[in-house]
Amino acid sequence: MKPHPSPDRWPAWLSGPAGRWLLGPLADESPELRRALLQTLREVPVLQLFELFWTVMIAWLAWRATHGTALWPLAWLLLEAVCLPLRLGWPRLPLLCQVAVNVVRLLGMGLGAMASIQVGDLVLTVLSPLLVVGLLAQVVSRWVALPRLAIALVHLVGAALLAGLWHSPLPGLREVSPMVMAGALAFQMLALHNHRMLLSVLRLQFENRRLSLQDPLTGLPNRREFGERLERLEQLGRAGALPFALLCMDLDGFKRVNDEFGHEAGDRLLAETARRFRALLRSDDTVCRIGGDEFVVLLPGADPAAAAAVAERLLQAVREPFDVGGGQLARVGLSVGIALCPRHGCEGAPLMRQADEALYCAKRAGKGCLRWAGEVAETQEVVAVT
């Protein structure tokens, strides 16, 4: 059974040197946290309208101030016209491509502001730095997921503003131009501060969510997390994109271990069972403890032969004796019920019921074995099990 790739794949190039530089401290975080941080880079439509208005006004004033002889205001407007539909999502671009479009656009706005200041018009000289300051404030507040890129943009756009002030024909601007460098350094510190704050908040949120979805004894996903993962596989299964197998499992003789060795020994046995299960499964597979000595396994992409092979390995793993402390060994068994999507349906709740019925079919058949959903037990006698 080959590993099934995640439907939300992380771009491979981000694992290389360029990607690690771009992500900075984010490169060592979990993929889930990286994705959550990168979602903060999404465009805000209201901000787009304000930026477009300012850009059009300054470019128009610059074109009028140069009596229509300068071509760069028209090039600036053309750049905005090209970038606007891409920023609005037409055509649909991956998030990092949208970031690249914004980088080009912001650099173009920095150059446009620099050229506007050099025209020597007082109105343009006032409005252009205001546009640049607004851009830099947006960069350090909305681009906190990529602090190195934000800082690079701050200094590049700031350098364009500095050059514009330095070469402006208006008197006194060269003397105040070094203030731009101080402002860029302040924005740099703010970008790093915002990044640390957002990262700490998201880490806390992810840790709280992890604890709410994890069984504290075994460290396995709990019933709630199992439901969410089953729902995701159910959606893929209904679309015909991904078959999967659902295994319901129950330990045979676990109550006897608790009665004979104590509940602490039972806890040790459950934790060791979870460890053995994890060691036998792929990274894409899911094993959950849903209560007591009940476990479930989800096997994405598994056909009947692969599901049976995994179940046999799990059965064999549980047959090995368990060290329950104090040099004492305990033995338990395992019963398994298997349901397959799409063979037995792809609706999560009915599929779970069929796998559970197959589990008790295995119990009635003598325990320590596997049974398939829809399989008729060899005997109709219901045997009390513990």
The tens digit of pLDDT for each residue in 196-242 reads 998 899 889 888 888 889 999 999 999 999 999 999 999 888 888 78
User: Do both 48 and 137 map to the same domain?
Assistant: yes
User: Do both 53 and 153 map to the same domain?
Assistant: yes
Residue 151: phi and psi, rounded to 5, are: -65, -40
Asked if the structure places residue 117 within a domain, the reply is yes
User: Do both 179 and 83 map to the same domain?
Assistant: yes
Q: What is the pTM of this model?
A: 0.66
Measured distance CA(331)–CA(257) in Å, rounded: 8
User: Do both 228 and 364 map to the same domain?
Assistant: yes
User: Do both 234 and 96 map to the same domain?
Assistant: no
Q: What is the largest CA-CA distance in the chain?
A: 101
Asked if the structure places residue 378 within a domain, the reply is no
Measured distance CA(337)–CA(369) in Å, rounded: 9
How many domains does the chain fold into? 2
Going by pLDDT thresholds of 50, 70 and 90, the confidence category of residue 13 is low
- Can you tell me whether residue 284 is helix, strand or coil? coil
Cis peptide leading into 147, omega within 30 of 0? Answer: no
User: Do both 199 and 93 map to the same domain?
Assistant: yes
Asked if the structure places residue 73 within a domain, the reply is yes
User: Do both 203 and 294 map to the same domain?
Assistant: no
- The last residue of one of the domains, among 155, 176, 210, is 210
Is 379 a residue whose pLDDT tops 50?
Answer: no
User: Do both 110 and 193 map to the same domain?
Assistant: yes
Measured distance CA(284)–CA(287) in Å, rounded: 10
Going by pLDDT thresholds of 50, 70 and 90, the confidence category of residue 384 is very low
Burial class (CB in 10 A: 0-12, 13-18, 19+), 171: exposed
Going by pLDDT thresholds of 50, 70 and 90, the confidence category of residue 24 is confident
CATH of the domain at 279: 3.30.70.270
The pLDDT of residue 35: 80
Is 18 a residue whose pLDDT tops 80?
Answer: no
For 292-320, how does the pLDDT look when each residue is reduced to its tens digit (9 = 90+)?
A: 999 999 999 999 999 999 999 999 999 99
How is residue 246 written in tokens? 């659902």
Is 92 a residue whose pLDDT tops 50?
Answer: yes
User: Do both 198 and 227 map to the same domain?
Assistant: no
Distances (CA, A) of 106 to 51, 55, 70, 154, 280: 10, 11, 21, 10, 51
User: Do both 203 and 259 map to the same domain?
Assistant: no
Going by pLDDT thresholds of 50, 70 and 90, the confidence category of residue 95 is confident
Asked if the structure places residue 300 within a domain, the reply is yes
Q: Which domain holds residue 68?
A: 12-210
User: Do both 101 and 200 map to the same domain?
Assistant: yes
The pLDDT of residue 5: 40
User: Do both 239 and 324 map to the same domain?
Assistant: yes
The pLDDT of residue 108: 94
DSSP secondary structure letters along 221-273 = B-HHHHHHHHHHHHHHHHTTS--EEEEEEEEESHHHHHHHH-HHHHHHHHHHH
